[in-house]
A and B are shown apart, each in its own frame.
Chain A
Amino acid sequence: MRSLDHLFEHSSRSLARRTSRRSLLASLGQLLTGAALLPLLPVDRGGRAWGSEAKPDSPESCEYWKYCAIDGFLCSCCGGTSSSCPPGTATSPITWIGTCHNPGDGRDYIVSYNDCCGKTSCGNCECNRNEREKPMYRPSRNNDLNWCMANADSNYHCSVSVILGVAEK
């Protein structure tokens, strides 16, 4: 599968060979900020992935297809939706992206895993899934990091998964 996240990874590696990490990250930050002003991602959560009692096709369920590598509290259970932050929180200008399969239409989608920031953790519908997730030395693939880290208020509240487009086969 030739997906956007693979392209992202390859371009990152190519950049890394030519530039220092700082300039690499600055470039990535500009890329992401300029492209979509995408928010953030969460912190760890161990193997706990129970979420609510919602059905698997509900955005309040950890089994919902868009959450295939999410790690945190589902904003859908915290006053937001699967693609919007709860009232009074802030999105973040950095994020990471991955690929999830939608069984409803059989397509793979590029999604961004974003964090909502500025309030303490929501505490509802904890969800930890890790498809294609990688450790912290590959930050563009890691869901342990607090992606609110660069916000003026880096407190972590909850996580969303936003569709960016269909993954190219």
Chain B
Amino acid sequence: MLSVLVHAAPPPLPAEHLSVQQLPPKSPHWVYVYDEAFDNEIDARVHLFDGDSYRRLGQIDAGFLPSVSVSPDGTTTAVATTYFARGSRGARTDVVEFTDNATLATTGEIVLPSKRAQTSPTIFNMGYSTDGHFLYAAYLTPAASFGVLDPARRAVLGEIDTAGCVLVIPWGANRVSSLCESGRLLTVTLDAQGHETARALSEPFFDPDRDPVFVQGVPTARGYAFLSFLGEVHELDLSGAQPAFAQPWSLLSPAEQGRWRPGADQVGAVHRGLGRLYVPMHQGGEGTHKDGGTEVWVFDMAAHRRLARWPMQAAGLSRVLAVQVSQDPAPILFAATDAADVAVFDALTGRLRHVEKHLGQTPWMMLNP
């Protein structure tokens, strides 16, 4: 009898060979999830997540309060971070580390002056020029300036004082704008060696006392959209020689004003082909601008018209702190919550496809591949 059973058993599993998994070909439905690991902040990471298979594909280590930027050609992720010589203490080293996005292997670094802006994630903490020739890193000591880096030669080219204006908004091959306390935009133009050749200060494009804009600008087809605390949309056109500011428009109807407002860490996402804007919205007053959205509202940017309201609680989600949308014709919307869940929606219909529970510890920003 025993012999019969033994013969009926399936063949043993073959021996396995230990290997390193290779990434599949890049998909527009991937997303880089910035996890500040706030409870143990020297150990931030960037998780690569696939919005189709709902799998984590890999990780990029990111140190303390990092700045993260993907190169314009999508091949490289740059992480500017700070390390302490003895883990949580000791001599400070600021450095930009480059990761090959096809392998997730670190390929090089640039050591920075110990001036890097250590702040909440925005896409303007660090950024590439449009052609990828320069990489700019925001400094704050708290004197404000930025570093001009050569990512190909792995070199610091110089530092530009920004007269109190903060962050780096790259545009074109050689221009960088910064946000000023007065509501103006400072724009610095560089030569081929990364040295300043000109600077210009715009007229104020928002009122920082009455209705400040979030520094988390949203990339649009021709520049960026800056949302204000009270729900105004300030579109900045950077396709010409000078910054151009469109007439602001409101996310809110007159009846909604004063009751609803945007709020999050990453407070908007735009599908540039469709011209659709996605914004986490909540009901609240002054001081609630980081409370996160109980709903995601969808807008037609050309018509300044709301297309949909998607309640997050109905999808079983807590407040949304970050949104990102893929840029392909069948887009998906990623929404990261204050419970560290990342929800995957059909960005055209709002249908919930998946909730990835606990995608890291504090996912506060997401970037497209």
Residues from 46 to 100 in B contacting A, C-beta threshold 8 Å: 64-65, 82, 84, 88-90, 92
Select which of B89, B288, B290 is within 8 A of A118 by beta carbon: B89
Chain A residue at minimal CB-CB distance from B318: A47
- The chain A residue sitting closest to B215, CB to CB, is A135
In the assembled complex, the Cα of A30 lies from the Cα of B363 at a distance in Å of: 37
Among B39, B163, B167, B321, contact of A20 (Cβ-Cβ < 8 Å): B163
Interface residues on A, range: 35 or more
Q: Which of A52-60, A103-111, A123-131, A159-167 contacts B (4 or more CB under 8 A)?
A: A123-131
Known A130-B290, A138-B181, A138-B212: A44·B89 in contact at CB below 8 Å: no
Min distance, Cβ B84 to any Cβ of chain A, angstroms: 6
Complex interface: chain A residues within 8 A of B144 (CB): 21
Q: Complex: how many Å from CA A46 to CA B362?
A: 8
Taking CB atoms and an 8 Å cut-off, the chain B residues in 94-118 that contact chain A are 117-118
The answer to whether B180 touches A46 (Cβ under 8 A) is no
Interface string of A2-29 (1 = CB under 8 A from B): 0000000000010010001110111000
Determine whether B141 belongs to the interface, using a CB cutoff of 8 Å to chain A: yes
In Å, the complex CA distance between A134 and B289 comes to 9
Report the bound CA distance from A146 to B94 in whole Å. 15
- Selected from A119, A133, A150, the residue in CB contact (under 8 A) with B142 is A150
Residues of B148-201 whose CB lies within 8 A of A:
161-167, 179-181
Q: Complex: how many Å from CA A161 to CA B224?
A: 36
The answer to whether B88 touches A120 (Cβ under 8 A) is yes
Interface contact B321-A130, CB-CB below 8 Å: no
Contact flags A90-123 to B (C-beta < 8 A → 1, else 0): 0000100000000000000000000000111101
B288 contacts across to A, CB distance below 8 A: 130
> With A46-B265, A47-B263 known to touch, is A153 a contact of B142 (CB < 8 Å)?
no
Evaluate contact between A145 and B140: CB separation under 8 angstroms.
yes
Q: State A43–B42 Cα separation when bound (angstroms).
A: 13
Number of interface residues of B (CB under 8 A): 54
Q: Please name all residues of chain A whose beta carbon is closer than 8 Å to the beta carbon of B292 when the two chains form the complex.
A: 46-47
Does A37 have its Cβ within 8 Å of any Cβ on chain B? no
Q: Known A121-B38, A126-B38; judge A134-B212 contact (CB<8 A).
A: yes
Q: Which residue of A lies closest to B121 (CB)?
A: A44
In whole angstroms, what is the CA distance A28 to B181 when docked? 16
Which of A22, A26, A128, A154 is the one whose CB lies under 8 Å from B118? A154
* Pair B42/A155 contact, Cβ less than 8 Å: yes
- Whether B88 contacts A146 by the Cβ 8 Å rule is no
Given contacts A43-B65, A146-B65, A155-B64, contact A136 B119 (CB under 8 A): yes
A154 to B264, CA, bound (A): 26
The residue that B41 contacts in the complex, of A24, A25, A121, with Cβ under 8 A, is A121
What 0/1 readout, one digit per residue, does chain B (188-229) give for beta carbons within 8 Å of chain A? 000000000000000000001000111100000000000000
With A22-B161, A135-B214: A47-B118 Cβ-Cβ less than 8 Å: no
**Contact A22 to B143, CB < 8 A, known contacts A123-B39, A132-B287:** yes
The digit string for A46-88, where 1 denotes a CB below 8 A from any CB of B, is 1110000000000000000000110000000000000000000
Smallest CB–CB gap between B171 and chain A, Å? 18
Return the chain B residue nearest A9 by Cβ: B209
Closest to A45 in B: B38
Binding site for A on B (CB under 8 A): 36, 38-42, 64-65, 82, 84, 88-90, 92, 117-121, 140-144, 161-167, 179-181, 208, 212-215, 263-265, 286-292, 319, 321, 338, 362, 364
CB-defined A-B contacts under 8 Å, sample of 7: A48-B338, A48-B362, A69-B287, A146-B119, A149-B142, A153-B90, A155-B41
